[in-house]
Amino acid sequence: MQDTKVIPPGIELIEAPSVWEQGYTGDGIVIAVLDTGCDSDHYELTDQIIGGYNFTTDDNRDTSVFEDYNGHGTHVCGTICAAENDAGVIGVAPKAKVLVIKVLTGQGFGDTRWITEGVRYATKWRGEKGERVRVISMSLGGREDSPELHEAVKEAIRQDILVICAAGNEGDGDDATDEYAYPGAYPEVVQVGSVNLQEEISKFSNTNCKIDLVAPGEEILSTYLNNEFAVLSGTSMAAPHISGAAALLIEQSEKEFERPLSEPELYAQLIKRTVTLNYSRRFQGNGILKLATGLKVAKENEQISTTK
């Protein structure tokens, strides 16, 4: 990994390099990114895109054009899987592939129906070599609890797809008040809150009893439009850290177990690698993802419990 000029601080914080050193980079894992599309000409991402579909009104509803006119989706994709090369940045899972599902317009807004259809599309999608989506990443949310969207999410999970969602940015810094954004607030998904690079809970991060874990979401460096890079903040930036990490864990765990893992098993592998911070569960869920430290602590705790 010496060739890449910058490993973004958030990716260092979740300890992704420790997994790369073991030979796992998310190779062959497909992550569906439901967002504003992706800049398909960005040199960090052009080889990472396995396919795409546009559900929005952009480009006269041409379903084959999933270009990003906002920057948000491109930033998310970069955190997940920006390529390992001698320039720019590197993503959490640099050998993973993204299926770009455009459900938000260039203005950053979308219809809940588009998101529902996007989840269904990701669930049913098959690649030319029989690839299928293993992770759905959604850095989006709204206040509307849609039964149709909820059902689509549940169907994806029944197909053993890990559904990872941003918690939302309506937080007030007070864990006594709940803030919910959907689909993040559905109990079946992995709801991701945000911390800054000092591992302090972001004031904007939604708090509720369904938060699963937290990841870096402030001052996150990643890819942007026109072959550029940008620093953005939000739970939108925290979720793709977890989506990329999930690709690493799928590759690593399925080699170890020599079989495909179910969605509950994948979730368990993810949560096993969290470290509790000094906050209430409504802020952090199980804690911050630390791919090496979390696993070490979990193994130490297992040894303690088995020797009792």
Q: What are phi and psi of 203, to 5 degrees?
A: -60, -35
Q: Rounded distance, CA 271 to CA 290, Å?
A: 10
Q: Rounded distance, CA 253 to CA 276, Å?
A: 22
pLDDT at 3: 46
pLDDT at 4: 55
Q: Rounded distance, CA 43 to CA 39, Å?
A: 9
Token pair for 239: 């979720």
Q: Specify whether the CB–CB gap between 286 and 276 falls below 8 A.
A: yes
Could you read off the pLDDT of 128-175 as tens digits, one per residue? Answer: 999 999 999 999 999 989 999 999 999 999 999 999 999 999 999 998
Mean pLDDT of 60-84: 97
Could you read off the pLDDT of 171-214 as tens digits, one per residue? Answer: 999 989 999 999 999 999 999 999 999 999 999 999 999 999 99
pLDDT at 115: 98
pTM recorded for the entire structure: 0.95
pLDDT at 242: 98
Q: Rounded distance, CA 97 to CA 105, Å?
A: 22
pLDDT at 295: 80
Residue 117 confidence (pLDDT) above 90: yes
3-state secondary structure of 234: coil
The catalytic site residues sit at 35, 72, 236
Domains and CATH numbers, the chain: 9-307 (3.40.50.200)
Residue 129 neighbours by CB under 8 Å, 6+ apart:
none
Q: Which segment of 3-12, 77-86, 257-266 scores lowest on mean pLDDT?
A: 3-12
Could you read off the pLDDT of 21-39 as tens digits, one per residue? Answer: 999 999 999 999 999 999 9
Q: Rounded distance, CA 284 to CA 169, Å?
A: 14
Q: Rounded distance, CA 238 to CA 206, Å?
A: 12
pLDDT at 55: 98
Largest CA distance in the chain: 65
Percentage with pLDDT > 70 across the chain = 97
Angle at 36 between CA 32 and CA 37, to 5 degrees: 60
Q: State the chain's mean pLDDT as an integer.
A: 95
Residue 73 confidence (pLDDT) above 80: yes
Mean pLDDT of 253-264: 96
List residues bridging with 35 in a β-sheet: 102
Residue 305 confidence (pLDDT) above 80: no
